[in-house]
Structure formats: structure tokens, C-alpha cells
């Protein structure tokens, strides 16, 4: 479940390696057919100019005017040595090789003309970057939630009010802001919304500092696990006492996702 902190951790490792490298050959290996690996071969011969991140997407700007878009999905990993199985794509560089391993095939690894995100609607409509205070303002957050009748959990997960927050960090942020996951997104008051905004920023920042969260599959390029798993206060804690009010944390399903919250101190 790589979310923003996990993806940012990987991006930083790649940033120390890839810029300036030329892609000698880009190819699919055991990759699914269809759009997830579209035009990957077009990266061949292009130099990697820069690496950025938008939400959970890693973007490599290429010298030929293209962008290589990487999404880790659920189980995507980057390796510098060939993994024994589940290699979906491979970039042969002028120095070294990058392997994309993805057991469950939810990841993406494709080439588009720079900025042409028509085939990636989530990226095209992505919300503000939470770790950029100029971008993720209360006004923008509120504007992107205004009028939405769905649950705050579903709204955050849609990537449109804010970029990069998935299941784990939605639950953690709602717990910290004391907001019920089923609260109607468009009806949360400005004061509470600002608490949620602050919680998202604080939690994501703290998780980046810890190298992200590893539940099972997530690994950094160096092969390390993420230590933020030890700081989780709601996610996965069903039956355990709430660290704030001592009531028992419950697991329900909201927006088709496992959702952990405290029925004592999280209010609609």
C-alpha cells in the first residue's frame, strides 16, 4: 500500500541514482497487456533529466519530451538487481539496470508525452500536494470538498481534495482530527477541516521521516521496511484501546475499504 510517504521515500532514492542516466533499452517483461505499460519502449534512447512526485505517482522527465510515469499500485517495488520473479518492466541504463517488480499487477510503468495525462485521469485531476504549504491551503481543500455528499473517507481516497493519501493515512488523519470516516464530506465545518488538513500534513511528514509504513510488501529500493508502522494509532488496531479516550477501536467497511476508527472520540 504505497501512499505518499512510501512513494516519496522511493523517489528520493531514485533521485540519487537516475538523473543524468541514459535509458539504453526500456522493455516490458512479464507485463500485463493494455494501458498500464503503454509506450514503455519509447523511453529507449532518452536521458532521464529529473525526477518528481505527484501524489503517489513518480514522474521521470525524459530528454525526448516524454515522461515515464511509475505507480507502485499495491505491491510495486524498484530493484537494482534482478528479482527472482514478478518482474514486469526493466530499464537498461548506461550504468546499471532498474527492475520493476509487481506481484499483483496493480502498478503502472508507462510513457506519455510530458503532461499528457489523458490516459491517467487520477493524475490529471489530482488535488494539491499536502507537503507543499503554498499548494495545500485550507481554501483549496475546502473548495475541493464543497458540495460533496459522499463520506469524507471516500472523498479523501479519490485523490481530488488532496494528493497521495490512501487507506492507511486517511484513517490515521481522521483519527487525529477526531472526525468520523462516514461524516459527509461537504458538511464538515471549516475549523474541523483545518484540523484534518493539519493532521494530514503532520502525519505524512512524520511518516516520510520514518521511511513510510510497511505492512507486508512495501520495501525501499535499498530493501528496507518503513518504520512508521510502529506509530499507527488507528489503522489495523481493531479491538485495541483508543490511545486518546480508551474506547475500543472498531473496524468497519467504508468506501469498500477496511476502515479503523474510534467510536468514542471521532464524530460525524
Residues at the interface with DNA (CB under 7 A): 1, 3, 32, 35, 55-57, 71, 73-74, 86, 103-106, 120-123, 147-151, 154-155, 157, 159, 166-168, 186, 255-258
Q: How far is the CB of 120 from DNA (least distance, A)?
A: 4
Residues forming beta bridges with residue 60, ordered by sequence position: 51, 68
From the CB of 164, what's the least distance to DNA, in Å? 8
| CB-nearer residue toward DNA: 17 or 106 | 106
Catalytic site residue from 2, 5, 128, 181:
2
Shorter beta-carbon distance to DNA: residue 66 or 171: 171
Calpha distance 209→194 (Å, rounded) = 23
Rounded CA separation 232/61 (Å): 34
Radius of gyration of the chain (CA): 19
| Catalytic residue flag (residue 184) | no
Q: Which residues on adjacent β-strands are paired with residue 254?
A: 257
Q: Looking at the chain, how many residues does it have?
A: 268
Residue 1 or residue 242: which is nearer to DNA going by CB?
Answer: 1
Contacts of 84 (CB under 8 A, 6+ apart): none
Of 42, 56, 101, 197, the active-site residue reads: 56
* 113 in active site: no
Nearest CA to 116 out of 72, 158, 67 is that of: 67
- Choice between 168 and 196, CB closer to DNA: 168
Catalytic residue annotation: 2-3, 56, 257
Amino acid at each position: 500500500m504505497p501512499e505518499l510517504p512510501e512513494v516519496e521515500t522511493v523517489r528520493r532514492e531514485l533521485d540519487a541514482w537516475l538523473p543524468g542516466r541514459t535509458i539504453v533499452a526500456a522493455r516490458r517483461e512479464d507485463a500485463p497487456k493494455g494501458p498500464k505499460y503503454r509506450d514503455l519502449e519509447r523511453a529507449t534512447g532518452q536521458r532521464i533529466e529529473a525526477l518528481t512526485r505527484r501524489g503517489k505517482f513518480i514522474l521521470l522527465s525524459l530528454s525526448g519530451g516524454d515522461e515515464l510515469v511509475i505507480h507502485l499500485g499495491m505491491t510495486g517495488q524498484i530493484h537494482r538487481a534482478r528479482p527472482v520473479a514478478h518482474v514486469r518492466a526493466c530499464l537498461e541504463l548506461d550504468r546499471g539496470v532498474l527492475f520493476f517488480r509487481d506481484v499483483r499487477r496493480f502498478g503502472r510503468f508507462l510513457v506519455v508525452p510530458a503532461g499528457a495525462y489523458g490516459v491517467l485521469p487520477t493524475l490529471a485531476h489530482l488535488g494539491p500536494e499536502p507537503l507543499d504549504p503554498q499548494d495545500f491551503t485550507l481554501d483549496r481543500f475546502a473548495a475541493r470538498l464543497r458540495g460533496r455528499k459522499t463520506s469524507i473517507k471516500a472523498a479523501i481516497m479519490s485523490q481530488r481534495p488532496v494528493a497521495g493519501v490512501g487507506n492507511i493515512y486517511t484513517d490515521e488523519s481522521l483519527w487525529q482530527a477526531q472526525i468520523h470516516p462516514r461524516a459527509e464530506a461537504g458538511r464538515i465545518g471549516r475549523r474541523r477541516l483545518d484540523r484534518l488538513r493539519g493532521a494530514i500534513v503532520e502525519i505524512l511528514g512524520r511518516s516520510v521521516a520514518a521511511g513510510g509504513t510497511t505492512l507486508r510488501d512495501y520495501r525501499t529500493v535499498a530493501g528496507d521496511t518503513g518504520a512508521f508502522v510502529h506509530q499507527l494509532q488507528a489503522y489495523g488496531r481493531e479491538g485495541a484501546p483508543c490511545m486518546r479516550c480508551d474506547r475500543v477501536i472498531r473496524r468497519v467497511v467504508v468506501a469498500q475499504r477496511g476502515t479503523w476508527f474510534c467510536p468514542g472520540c471521532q464524530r460525524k
